[in-house]
A and B are shown apart, each in its own frame.
Chain A
Amino acid sequence: MRFSVKSSDLRNVLLSVINVVPAKTTLPILGNVLLSLKDNKLCLSATDLEVTIRTFVEVKTDKEGGVALPGKIIGDIIRQLPDVTLDITVDENYRANIKTDIGEYVISGENESEFPSVPKADIKHEIDVESDVLERIISKALFAISMDGVKSSIMGVYLQFLKNEFRAVSTDGHRLVRVINKNVKIKEDIGGYITSPKALGQFLKNRSEGGTVKLSISDNYLMFNFDNFVVYSRLIEGMYPDYEKVIPKDNKNRLMVDRNMMESSVKRILVFANKVTQQIKLKLSENSVEISSEDVDYGKEGREKITADYNGEEMTIGYNAGYLLDILGHIDTEKVVFDFGSSTSAGLAYPSEQRENEDILMLVMPIKLID
């Protein structure tokens, strides 16, 4: 295998696949990046068996072939090379010789056939989504997934394809986000798939604005085809919880408040909360909300009152301040709307105005105030 490529061209594609190379692995071959050369196209792939990423770059070649090269070494040298032309030759012992104007480097690689092949799967469904729509829906939902390593089904984002309705849902059992976009052409209900956050992260990191993403679904994989990339994500197995059932339909106490004002107030009050529970209190009364916290162990407490639109029942609710900040940070309207039921039931939050064809809903469970 022999080809020439500009270092800057190779750098871009290489650094985006290297992110997927696992830092620690029991399968040493996964520490490599696979390079395969055909029709003047150099295809690079990396995998951790859960997520596989593939991209390509145009090169000049007179001898096709393939090799798996250690990701760390090739990544480190490419990062540090100035803009030069690389002439890369790989011999029959999988040794790659990289020649540039400034020097020559040799890297020992592995037979490309040792590298796990790209997952083959029978595509069952294909859906085209605008890249910007997918980006928005994922980045709104991603923060609420569970990280606790216990229940794998809620450790991913639930992507649900209903007739002309695309949803992303995430929850960790204490909060939940549901983002719906009604402007995606889907002929029929296809169902939902739990997608690994790592694969979604690869999409978010590598995509460019505009354009379309082709989502291909098989029994075990969800593939994202966008720009020059293909990301294969092994679907997370398990039943996603029946999230609609836990979204309250009759929370009658509506609070509308300035998002920035509330966010900075919660941040200040968090300073005075117990470090473990991060518990703060919202005291709702007519046209105001009082945010307070105390930590008896350290003898500290804080209290602030902000004006807001509220004419529901007077009540005091405890929340984990971190959860509230996550919600406030992911709502992009000037004002945010909360619908509360009682001090022990789920509270809902939305942007004060939904975008066209979009429905964002966030839910957060309270902290019990009295034992």
Chain B
Amino acid sequence: MNKKKRIMHVDMDAFFASIEQRDQPLLKGKPVIVGGEPGGRGVAATCSYEARKFGVKSGMPIALAVKKCPDGTFIRTNGKKYMYASMRVIEILNRYSPKVEPTSIDEAYLDVTGSVKDREDERKIGESLKREIRRELELTCSVGIASNRIFAKIATNMKKPDGLTIIADEELEKKIYPLPISELIGIGKKSEGILKNLGIKTIGDIAVYPENELERVLGVNGPLLSKLARGEGSDRVLAFDEEEEVKSIGSEHTLERDTCDENIINMILLKLSEKVGRRLRESRFAGRTVAVKFRYSDFSSFSKRCTYPFFVWEDNKIYSISKKLFYSVYKRTKKIRLLGITVSGVVKSYLNTNNNKIQTELFTNCNKSGKLLKTIDLLKDIHGEMAIARAAYLKIL
């Protein structure tokens, strides 16, 4: 039962760019940048390895990418195409393990514990999987295998593109410990600085550093990092029908154009509230903590949260609370670039199937609003998200 797990991490190489290069063979070997329209405000989603040589990175504003790589081919993101390719990749991965957990469009974890008995098996399974992806989809990927998710991902990053890296537990000291701490997830610039001051430079340094000392300087994250560094990271891979226990539901939106127009801000808060409310109701959740986060155009971010003695699940309630929270911190006239709403502290069994609290009300007839929401949700389920919308949206759409 307690067999040490073997986790495989698969990362598609320059996924969007590779798909475009595959579909337009003339682009092969050339710098390709997939993302927003050049001249627009978008960012580079993926760039081919050829483009990376020019210093283009994913997440970089398109304008900057154009500057760095003026001769590159810029292609607008084609979500549908990549989603389809991603599904095909998952199909292939499913042949290798019943436990495949995609974590993004181009990345997935597999629990291969049951399929391998030694390093040789791991190499075979890795090569075979890579071969099938290449043969069937004409795409390459990088694979890492280790005893938990974090080390598997680190392994993948060791050799890219088209790599296969296996790290046995005996090799941790040799292969993982010398790596700089920035390779470990959960270490940002701030903690990196703090740790460097303590003389901690590598993952190995963290692993041997006293846990309580780390707790003192990093707070709750200290012991967590210590565990990760020692290889006690999560080795759980969720199969498609397994659910992670939900703690919060949230959504965020980057504006097309930065704005301080409160009408537009309110409209976006309303849309986000509807989205979050709908997702809460989908799983019959209700939550007590509402958080609003936002980013100004200078990229400084703020958030405000509040926990209430009551539960929320209705769009209107989420909206009115978010608005209150937002305007309590927002510096009017400063331009906003991103807005987000999260409802956390969620519980089940608070609502019945008609979106009504099971506790009946004395003054208000909550039947109506519950039924209304249920009807709207149903319409959207059948006819799509835009099947029914608030008239207020018509003004800015």
Contact = CB atoms under 8 A, between A and B. Distances in A.
Interface of A: 147-150, 171, 173-176, 241, 246, 274, 276-277, 279, 297, 318, 320, 344, 346, 363, 365-368, 371
Contacts of B353: 371
A118 to B, nearest CB: 30
Nearest to A174: B359
A367 B308 contact: no
A274 B350 CA distance: 10
Contact of B352 (A173, A175, A366, A368): A368
B290 to A, nearest CB: 12
B360 A344 contact: yes
A337 to B, nearest CB: 20
Interface in B337-361: 347, 349-350, 352-354, 356, 358-361
B364 interface: yes
27 contacts: A148-B308, A148-B309, A149-B308, A150-B310, A171-B362, A173-B361, A174-B359, A174-B362, A175-B362, A176-B362, A241-B363, A246-B363, A276-B347, A276-B349, A277-B349, A277-B350, A277-B358, A279-B358, A318-B358, A344-B360, A365-B362, A367-B358, A367-B360, A368-B356, A368-B358, A371-B352, A371-B354
Contact of B360 (A150, A241, A365): A365
Nearest to B321: A150
A349 B10 CA distance: 64
Interface string B355-384: 010111111100000000000000000000
Interface residues of B, number: 17
User: Which of A173, A175, A318, A346 is the most central at the interface, judged by chain B CB atoms within 10 Å of its CB?
Assistant: A173
Given A174-B361, A246-B363, A276-B347, A149 B352 contact: no
Interface string B143-177: 00000000000000000000000000000000000
Contacts of A318: 358
Contact of A363 (B352, B354, B356, B362): B362
B308 A173 contact: no
Contacts of B358: 277, 279, 318, 367-368
Contacts of B354: 371
B309 A149 contact: yes
Contacts of A148: 308-310
Given A149-B309, A276-B350, A277-B349, A320 B359 contact: yes
B364 A147 contact: no
Nearest to A320: B359
Given A173-B361, A276-B350, 6 more contacts: A148-B309, A277-B358, A320-B359, A367-B359, A367-B360, A371-B352
A74 B384 CA distance: 65
A173 B349 contact: no
A83 to B, nearest CB: 43
A277 B356 CA distance: 13
A368 B359 CA distance: 6
Contacts of B364: 173
A150 B318 CA distance: 12
B309 to A, nearest CB: 5
Nearest to B351: A371
A147 B359 CA distance: 16
Nearest to A247: B362
A70 to B, nearest CB: 27
User: Which of B308, B350, B353, B362 is the most central at the interface, judged by chain A CB atoms within 10 Å of its CB?
Assistant: B362
A366 to B, nearest CB: 6
Contacts of B359: 174, 277, 320, 365, 367
B361 A365 contact: yes
Contacts of B347: 276
Contacts of B352: 368, 371
Given A173-B362, A174-B362, A246-B363, A274 B310 contact: no
